[in-house]
Structure 1
């Protein structure tokens, strides 16, 4: 595959984004997309990435250095997803609304971790006794 330059520019009014993929030494063709069209493209790219990753190992989270795209202070929801367990959905500023399902045994593990970390371990008091 030839090398290419990728340019992305959000319009001043933030209503469109222009994407231009230009193979080196050739003329590019910019394409303007609305937010809905960009979301659709991102979904299709995600589908393509998923197909490319089939049969390959996912990332290891054993290391503290594992790359994670963090979405802080976001809106989220949790819903029962019988019989599997639960669905956790949230808004990620880079990727839009995303979510994942958790089986019952993982929910038990998460609740145990959160209970141990935030309920059973007393927090340090800012006042000196």
Structure 2
């Protein structure tokens, strides 16, 4: 087995603050990602924004738990990093970086590293990451369009 580093980029006309908020809004994920459910694992009755150390559970459209992740870094409107703690790719760590684009809007860069990988899955992982970053940008653009 070998390791793999993947980076995918996209552009959104939305502000970095809006893109960051969409990324953290678990309820919005089914409308822009392949996942049906993202649930923050916080104690019952606790209503607060996500923070470093929080965990989230991601489920597929079939209801099967896909993975569990832990937030490892949060820089509002700039960067969000996580690592998988359970699931098929427990050696996976990802970062979504946001930067103000020179012509307005936000450049989004989603990078991921996998410590253990099989060669046949590398292409799929690259494609999937590109789809995620594109779908996030498209979703943020739709929010801008609705509010215009």
**Shared topology, TM-score over 0.5?**
no
- What range is the shorter-chain TM-score in? under 0.3
Larger RCO, structure (CA 8 Å, separation 6 or more)? 2
Higher strand share: 2
Q: Scaled by the length of structure 1, what TM-score is found?
A: 0.26
For the pair shown, which has the larger CA radius of gyration, 1 or 2? Answer: 1
Q: Scaled by the length of structure 2, what TM-score is found?
A: 0.23
